[in-house]
């Protein structure tokens, strides 16, 4: 949903800078996939889910996948991340990665 500093990256790209300044590497991407699903440290889980949502939304290290982006935005939103809650609303309003639901987009 947010613009990142680099154009969408192909599998051959070694790094990408996300909108929050995080320098994403393939190794970090793999670690974040585990961290986003692992309850424990709420802040780390939110940060991981947000980064992965952006990667899937913008095609960083993976093909663009609105459903996976939605899933990670939802994880972060449910943990209280305001930006992810807004992005989730956009997903519902526009039907990105989820069936369009105007009522859910207003929540």
pLDDT digits (tens, 9 = 90+) for 8-29: 444 556 888 888 888 988 899 9
Average pLDDT over every residue of 28-33: 90
| Confidence (pTM) | 0.81
How many whole angstroms separate alpha carbon 39 and alpha carbon 43? 10
Tokens found for residue 15 = 């790094």
Eight-state DSSP code of residue 95? T
CB 91 within 8 A of CB 70: yes
């Amino acid at each position: 949903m947010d613009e990142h500093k680099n154009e969408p990256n192909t599998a051959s790209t070694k790094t990408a800078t996300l909108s929050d300044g995080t320098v994403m590497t393939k190794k970090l991407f793999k670690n974040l996939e585990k961290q986003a699903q692992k309850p424990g440290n709420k802040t780390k889980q939110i940060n991981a889910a947000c980064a992965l949502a952006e990667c899937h939304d913008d095609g960083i290290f993976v093909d663009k996948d609105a459903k996976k982006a939605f899933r990670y935005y939802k994880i972060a939103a449910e943990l209280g991340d305001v930006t992810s809650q807004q992005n989730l609303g956009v997903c519902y309003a526009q039907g990105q990665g989820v069936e369009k639901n105007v009522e859910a987009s207003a929540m």
